[in-house]
Amino acid sequence: MPVPTPALLPRPQHLVVGEGELLLDAGTRVSAPDELADVLAWLQGALRPATGLPLREGGDDAAIRLALHADLGPETFTLSTGPDGAVVRGGDRAGVFYGCQALLQLLPPAVHRRAPVAGRRWALPAVEVRDAPRFAWRGVMLDVARHFTPKHDVLRFIDLMAMHRLNTLHWHLTEDQGWRLEITKYPRLTEVGAWRSESQVGAAEDSPSDGRPHGGFYTQDDVREVVAYAAARGITVVPEIETPGHVRAALAAYPELGVTGEQRDVSTRWGIEVDVLNMEESTVEFFTDVLDEVMDLFPSTVIGIGGDECPRDQWRADPRAQQRMRELGLEREADLQAWFMRRLDDHLTARGRRSFGWDEVLEGELAPTAVVASWRGMAGAVTAARRGHDVVACPDELVYLDYRQSELPNEPIPVATPLTVEDVYTRFEPVPPELTPEEARHVLGGQANVWTEHADSPRTVDYLVFPRLCAVAEVLWADDERDLEDFQRRLDAQLERLDAVGVEHRRASGPLPWQERPGVVGRPSTREERAAHMAELTRSITDG
């Protein structure tokens, strides 16, 4: 009888199934050089709970060995298993870690449970695997501003990213509805800005509110823990401080930052608020101070500064804003926003960092090192790459995981257009075909975006994210050849693993009864309506 092909996800570049197996038992030992001691400890911690095996450290005769190999590239690994033992080799620490993740996938899905599994036989089939990622940026944006995600749930989300060899957590920390990061120089950002009186329920304009206060923030010690936890799993945390729109929470804390100077509450409604930052030097100084603390907390080379969905009505109507434009020699309100973004961009560049902004930042001149997130389709990716900027592809119609997953009437929140796991797998391509090979080198990769207006708990995030994130992970890791039938076979096994760790993912048959949210309405639309809405949005934030 032929040995079944292991269901590895993401799909490896090279996989050959051999004969025999490596049985894990009480005498199985593991080993690694000192520089991989933490990866070895992680592997022991991943295997011990379900297997009940001690997996003590051994020497050169250990059955499972980890090693670095100079001939392998970054994040690249090989995995060789057979009756005589298993060896994971990586080009760097991350590569070895990914090889360990692949090793876990050779075992029954129950290995992922955090409690003993009685009566199970644990054996690794004989395989030879060689693998490397297609893209360097394989990410997820997690919005913790609309609904706060407690630290332990962020750590859990990082573990789920690591299971899929994703390596970038874009952490959306500030919004109209909440400021989630402690800034010691400006304590009111969290004392006031981290809390709102209630939250809108649903996406329709006339949706009711829940009447419940909501809030929370991360202390700087929390952030250091999250960053270290992610780094141990090969994940870089890229923070985002939203400017100069989506700043209502900051204005509630410091009204003098606004155009009117009037006191504002932290927003309780979804959508785009008209309130924006004023363009005074004192406001620039305020946000460069904030970015200084951000850079001290986050070692990421890339730092997000937002730039999206910024109305310009207040600047247009305000005499002082118009005077400021004349002082700066600017003709359009769009130029005023571009001037502000470039000031923050220059500040980051001076400290050896790179700014990261949504594709609206292309309306102005950026530092050559700036990175652009293309979210309004892929037009931003094309424009940015042709200007010489690096690009992260995250087109809304393909990787916005808050979008509804079907047209079923019991989808929890029927927002926007349907986006199925098959849509993501077959249609998401980070490199626009119209780019030349030279221009295409600017595409760092891509990410899924998880907006949380309608995800007020980790279980709702689970439902929205999985299994669509599995498809995103494979698109970003594997080569650009797609085999939907083979992917579905491997996805079925991956969903068993997610079940084992308690992920409440969406079933192919639709939402389970407890995943439905009766009475919570959305704003469904067709693809044609979505395209018209995006065109309108683009017009609304430009001057012609």
What pLDDT tens digit does each residue of the chain (544 aa) get? Answer: 566 899 999 999 999 999 999 999 999 999 999 999 999 999 999 999 999 999 999 988 899 999 999 999 999 999 999 999 999 999 999 999 999 999 999 999 999 998 999 889 999 999 999 999 999 999 999 999 999 999 999 999 999 999 999 999 999 999 999 999 999 999 999 999 999 999 999 888 889 999 999 999 999 999 999 999 999 999 999 999 999 999 999 999 999 999 999 999 999 999 999 999 999 999 999 999 999 999 999 999 999 999 999 999 999 999 999 999 999 999 999 999 999 999 999 999 999 999 999 999 999 999 999 999 999 999 999 999 999 999 999 999 999 999 999 999 999 888 899 999 999 999 999 999 999 999 999 999 999 999 999 999 999 999 999 999 999 999 999 998 999 999 999 999 999 999 999 999 999 999 998 898 877 777 777 777 777 777 776 665 444 3
Predicted confidence at residue 543, as pLDDT, reads: 46
Residues 6+ positions from 229 with CB-CB distance below 8 Å: 155, 158
Residue 264's nearest CA partner among 206, 340, 179, 145 is 179
Query: Class of 14-131 per CATH?
Result: alpha beta
pTM above 0.85, yes or no: yes
Q: Using an 8 Å Cβ cutoff, are 354 and 369 in contact? A: yes
DSSP label of 255: G
385-388 long-range contacts (CB < 8 A, ≥24 apart) are 385/432, 385/435, 385/439, 385/440, 385/442, 385/443, 386/435, 386/439, 387/362, 388/442
The pLDDT score that the predictor gives to residue 51 is: 97
Domain 14-131 and domain 137-483, same fold? Reply is no
**Phi, psi for residue 192 in degrees, rounded to 5:** -110, -50
Phi, psi of 243 (to 5 degrees): -150, 165
Neighbours of 498 (CB within 10 A): 22
- How many other C-beta atoms lie within 10 A of the C-beta of residue 140? 27
Q: Which of 199, 305, 188, 298 is nearest to 249 (CA)?
A: 188
Q: How far apart are CA 505 and CA 67, in angstroms?
A: 35
- H or E stretch covering 21: strand 14-23
Q: At what angle do helices 220-231 and 151-163 cross, to 10 degrees?
A: 10
Q: How far lies 36's CA from each of 24, 65, 141, 144, in Å?
A: 21, 10, 29, 32
The whole-angstrom separation of Cα 198 and Cα 203 is 15
Cα 537 from Cα 516, distance rounded (Å): 30
From 105, 93, 242, 222, select the one nearest 167 (Cα to Cα).
93
Count of alpha carbons within 13 angstroms of residue 395, beta-carbon side: 20
Helices (H) and strands (E) in the chain, counts: 18, 18
Best CATH choice for the domain 137-483 from the list 3.40.190.10, 3.20.20.80, 3.40.50.261, 2.170.120.12: 3.20.20.80
What does DSSP say about strands 214-215 and 236-243: parallel, antiparallel, or unpaired? unpaired
Cβ–Cβ < 8 Å for 430, 395 = no
Contact 444, 390 (CB under 8 A): yes
Alpha carbon separation from 6 to 104, 105, 108, 128 (Å, rounded):
11, 8, 10, 11
Contacts of 121 (CB under 8 A, 6+ apart): 23
CB 308 within 8 A of CB 333: no
Would you state the pLDDT for residue 534?
Answer: 72
> According to DSSP H, which parts of 393-526 are helical?
396-399, 421-427, 437-440, 458-465, 468-477, 484-500
Instruction: Tell me: cis bond preceding 467? Omega within 30 of 0 counts.
Output: yes
State the pLDDT at residue 544.
37
Side chain identity at residue 234, one-letter code? G
pLDDT at residue 73, rounded to an integer: 96
Three-state SS for 294?
helix
User: DSSP assignment, residue 363?
Assistant: G
Q: Facing residues of 355 across strands?
A: 303
Alpha-carbon distance of 235 to 171, in angstroms, equals 12
* Domain locations along the chain: 14-131, 137-483
